[in-house]
A and B are shown apart, each in its own frame.
Chain A
Amino acid sequence: MSEQKIADYEFKPGFTGMAKDTGSDQTMFKGVHWGKAMMWIFLLSDTFVFSCFLISYMKGRASTTVEWPYPSEVFALTVFGVSVPLLLIAIMTFVLITSSGTMALAVKYGYEKNRKMCGWLVLATAIGGLTFVGMQAFEWSKLIHEGVRPWENPFGAAQFGSYFFMITGFHGTHVSIGVIFLFIYAYKVFAGHYDTQKRGWFTTMKGDYVEIEILGLYWHFVDLVWVFIFAFFYLW
Chain B
Amino acid sequence: MSDEIDNKQSIQAQSSETMNQYSGSAAADIDYVRPAEIPEQDLYHGHSFITKWVFCQDAKVIGVQYFLTAVFTGVVGLILSWLMRLQLGFPGLAGFMTAEHYYQFVTMHGMIMVVYFLTALFLGGFGNYLIPLMVGARDMVFPYVNMISFWMFFIAVAVLMASFFVPGGPTGSGWTLYPPQAILEGTPGSGMGILLMLVSLSLFVIGFTMGGLNYLITILQARTRGMTLMRMPLTVWGIFTATVLAMLAFPALLVSSIMMTLDKVLGTSFFMPTILKAGEVLEYGGGSPILFQHLFWFFGHPEVYIVALPAFGIVSDLISVHARKNIFGYRMMVWAIVGIGALSFFVWAHHMYVSGMNPWFGFFFATTTLIIAVPTAMKVYNWIITLWRGNIRINTVMLWCLGFIVTFVNGGITGIFLGNVSVDVPLSDTYFVVAHFHMVMGIAPLMVIMGAVYHWFPLVAGRMLHEGLGKWHFWITFLGAYSIYFPMHYLGFIGVPRRYFEMYDSPYMTSAIGMNEFISLAAFIVGAAQFILIFNIIKTLKTGKPAGKNPWKANSLEWHTSTVPPEHGNFGDRLPVVHRWPYDFSVPGAKEDFIPQTTPPSEVVHTEVEKT
Contacts and interface: CB of A to CB of B under 8 A. Distances in A.
Of B2, B217, B288, the most chain A CB neighbours within 10 A belong to: B217
Interface in B12-38: 33-38
Interface string A5-17: 0111100000000
A106 B186 CA distance: 56
Nearest to B283: A151
Interface stretch (B85-93, B225-233, B407-415, B469-477): B225-233
Question: Which of B37, B42, B144 is packed against the most chain A CB atoms within 10 Å?
Answer: B37
Given A49-B251, A204-B144, A56 B220 contact: no
A25 B33 contact: yes
Interface string A71-96: 00000000000000000000000000
Contact of B286 (A23, A30, A158): A158
A25 B291 contact: no
A214 B536 CA distance: 48
A159 B286 contact: yes
A193 B295 CA distance: 44
Most buried by B among A29, A59, A151: A151
B44 interface: yes
B65 interface: no
B475 to A, nearest CB: 43
Contacts of A49: 251, 254-255
Interface string A44-60: 11101101110010011
A137 interface: no
Interface residues of A, number: 52
A66 B286 contact: yes
A12 B160 CA distance: 51
B298 A52 contact: yes
B225 to A, nearest CB: 6
Query: Which of the listed residues B225, B229, B269, B294 has the most CB atoms from chain A within 10 Å of its own CB?
Result: B269
Contacts of A53: 255
A166 B248 CA distance: 21
Contacts of B209: 42, 45
Interface in B240-295: 247-252, 254-256, 258-259, 262, 266-270, 283, 285-288, 291, 294-295
Given A6-B37, A203-B144, A23 B248 contact: no
B287 A159 contact: yes
Contact of A42 (B213, B267, B288): B213
Contact of A45 (B34, B141, B214, B247): B247
Contact of B42 (A29, A45, A206): A206
B222 interface: yes
Contact of B34 (A7, A59, A151): A7
Contact of A26 (B38, B142, B286, B287): B38
Nearest to A6: B37
Interface in A118-137: none
B144 A166 contact: no
Contacts of A162: 262, 268-270
B259 A34 contact: no
B391 to A, nearest CB: 30
Contacts, number: 155
Contact of B222 (A24, A34, A157, A161): A34
A157 B249 CA distance: 30
B1 interface: yes
Contact of B229 (A8, A22, A66): A22
Contacts of B283: 151
Size class of B's contact patch?
35 or more
B251 A46 contact: yes
A2 interface: no
Contacts of A170: 258
Given A45-B251, A159-B286, A166-B262, A37 B269 contact: no
A150 B286 contact: no
A168 to B, nearest CB: 13
A48 B252 contact: yes
B130 interface: no
A65 interface: yes
A208 to B, nearest CB: 11
A38 B142 contact: yes
Interface in A149-180: 150-151, 157-159, 161-163, 166, 170
B248 A157 contact: no
A45 B228 CA distance: 25
A28 interface: yes
Contacts of B294: 59
Nearest to A52: B255
A146 B428 CA distance: 48
Contact of B251 (A52, A166, A204): A52
B142 A60 contact: no
A29 B220 contact: yes
Contacts of A31: 37
Contact of B267 (A26, A32, A151): A151
Given A8-B34, A45-B247, A52-B298, A59 B226 contact: no
Contact of A59 (B2, B220, B224, B291): B291
A8 B44 contact: no
B147 to A, nearest CB: 10
A52 B205 CA distance: 15
A191 interface: no
B221 A60 contact: no
Contact of B266 (A27, A34, A151): A151
A25 B597 CA distance: 14
B223 interface: yes
B1 A41 contact: no
Nearest to B255: A52
Contacts of A65: 286
28 contacts: A6-B37, A9-B37, A23-B230, A25-B223, A25-B224, A25-B228, A27-B38, A28-B221, A32-B221, A38-B216, A41-B247, A44-B247, A45-B209, A45-B251, A51-B251, A52-B251, A52-B255, A52-B256, A59-B294, A150-B267, A151-B267, A151-B283, A158-B285, A159-B269, A166-B258, A166-B259, A166-B268, A203-B144
Interface of A: 6-9, 22-32, 34-35, 37-38, 41-42, 44-46, 48-49, 51-53, 56, 59-60, 63-66, 150-151, 157-159, 161-163, 166, 170, 199, 202-206
